[in-house]
């Protein structure tokens, strides 16, 4: 909510400017190459940025999940957010270099620095062009091991971006966006059309749909949820679905009908126990049987799996693997639950440690348990596209990496240079010998330089 305060200020300022007849600076009128320096950039500001002229921006405030940071990634504009005092130390007319990769800004750079960064810019452009050539390539390591690189999507419209970036699957379709973008519970037919569009758009490649993950920070105005002290640990996701089976069954029917149009898989979020998974799977089987009896075309090849995001489930992965067709590791929640640290709380953000040996051991346990039962494990959290984590995950035997579409080609390029035998050695050292996140990072750098 704190990070959305900027949105409210933005609307307030625009209304006041109209009432007072004051003209606000308009980013849409920029007609020369510039770097924007601002206290913050509002959603309406960023929506008007023209990549042709805006070469980068620096803001005093903001974080990785603030609107300006998200937009910079979407628009692929180099940015530094949360710089602190940029507006007081940089003046209009000064030359500025922004290194969006390293997170550095240089004011009034020397000729030598200008030359150095021009070369870095050219090298990065060349690298991006090389990545683009991998769009239709398989994800195969230097020693010939295959991996699947998928995309995380929120709506069927995102499928185009996934295919443009060479996705070999959709590893996570966040179906809750269909609920959040509606003014009432979406009907079975509305959901069916959305799922059908997604599976058809992937042309036979697998689409994994996560059933409604509402609760925590995702609320529906038309579905009142109880006030809770800890909503992230409360009534959410599969807990709502099993309680409100009318909603759950509607979604499952829509998914089952869409399964006839492509390769569709279903997974349940926030599973904590074997009993929960069995109950959810039983509802799925009941709805499938009803549709078949009615003569509705349904695929006989639907994999039914679960999200691995609760430490308790990770510890009994061997039991769950006997019933689940696959696991998908949701590292964003798995890490915050394991560390007992809210990932949105700046004071404890240092505990959000994807490379911590404790987290790596949990991931290893999940992958090993699935493989023992002949099942596969994917990952759809932020960690899947993390360039430090990828070599370790490859060494641990992760089968599918699902990430933001724009990270796919970069990750494919990295995996093509990796020898998995060497990465297995890296993963073993990271889980067995390392004590800290920092030690793991240094180990990865040593093995991949």
- Active-site entry in 18, 39, 67, 371: 67
- The torsion of the CA quartet 39, 45, 47, 51, rounded to 10 degrees, works out to -70
Tokens of 374: 């002949």
Catalytic annotation, pick one of 18, 39, 371, 380: 380
| Residue 55 CB-density burial (10 A; 0-12 exposed, 13-18 middle, 19+ buried) | middle
Q: Is 299 exposed, middle or buried (0-12, 13-18, 19+ CB in 10 A)?
A: middle
Q: Does 380 qualify as catalytic in the annotation?
A: yes
Q: Which residues pair with 98 in a beta bridge?
A: 105
Active site residue 67: yes
Phi-psi region of 288 (alpha: psi -120 to 50; beta: other; left: phi over 0): alpha
Q: Which tokens in the block code for residue 53?
A: 């002229």
User: What's the rounded Cα separation, in Å, for the pair 159 and 274?
Assistant: 33
Catalytic positions are 67, 380
């Amino acid at each position: 909510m704190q990070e959305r305060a900027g949105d409210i200020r933005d609307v307030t300022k625009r209304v006041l400017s109209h009432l007072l007849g004051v003209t606000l600076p308009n980013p849409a009128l920029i007609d020369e190459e510039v770097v924007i320096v601002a206290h913050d950039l509002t959603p309406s500001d960023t929506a008007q940025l023209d990549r042709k002229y805006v070469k980068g921006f620096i803001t005093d405030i903001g974080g990785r999940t603030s609107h300006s940071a998200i937009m910079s990634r979407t628009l692929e504009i180099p940015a530094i957010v949360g710089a602190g005092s940029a507006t007081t130390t940089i003046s209009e007319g000064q030359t500025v270099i922004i290194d969006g990769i390293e997170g550095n800004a240089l004011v009034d750079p020397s000729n030598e620095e200008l030359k150095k960064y021009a070369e870095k810019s050219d090298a990065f452009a060349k690298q991006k062009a090389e990545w683009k050539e991998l769009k239709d390539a398989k994800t195969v390591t230097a020693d010939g091991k295959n991996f699947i690189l998928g995309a995380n999507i929120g709506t069927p419209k995102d499928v185009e971006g996934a295919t443009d970036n060479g996705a070999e699957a959709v590893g996570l379709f966040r179906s809750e966006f269909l609920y959040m973008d509606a003014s009432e519970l979406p009907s079975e037919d509305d959901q069916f059309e959305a799922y059908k569009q997604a599976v058809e758009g992937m042309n036979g490649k697998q689409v994994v749909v996560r059933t409604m993950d509402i609760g925590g920070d995702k609320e529906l105005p038309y579905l009142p949820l109880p006030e809770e002290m800890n909503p992230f640990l409360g009534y959410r996701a599969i807990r709502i679905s099993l309680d409100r089976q009318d909603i759950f069954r509607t979604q499952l029917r829509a998914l089952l009908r869409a399964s006839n149009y492509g390769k569709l898989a279903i997974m349940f979020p926030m599973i904590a126990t074997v009993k929960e998974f069995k109950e959810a799977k039983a509802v799925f089987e009941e709805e499938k049987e009803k549709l078949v009896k009615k003569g509705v075309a349904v695929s006989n090849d639907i994999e039914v799996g679960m999200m691995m995001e609760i430490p308790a489930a990770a510890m009994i992965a061997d039991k769950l693997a006997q019933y689940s067709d696959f696991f998908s590791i949701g590292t964003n929640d798995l890490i915050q639950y394991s560390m007992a640290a809210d990932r949105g709380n700046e004071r404890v953000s240092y505990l959000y440690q994807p490379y911590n040996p404790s987290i790596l051991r949990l991931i290893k346990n999940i992958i090993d348990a699935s493989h023992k039962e002949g099942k596969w494990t994917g990952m759809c959290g932020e960690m899947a596209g993390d360039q430090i984590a990828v070599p370790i995950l490859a060494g641990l035997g992760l089968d599918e990496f699902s990430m933001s579409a724009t990270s796919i080609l970069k990750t494919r390029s990295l995996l093509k240079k990796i020898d998995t035998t060497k990465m297995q050695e890296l993963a073993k050292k990271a889980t067995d010998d390392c004590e800290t996140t920092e030690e793991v990072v240094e180990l990865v750098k040593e093995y991949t330089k």
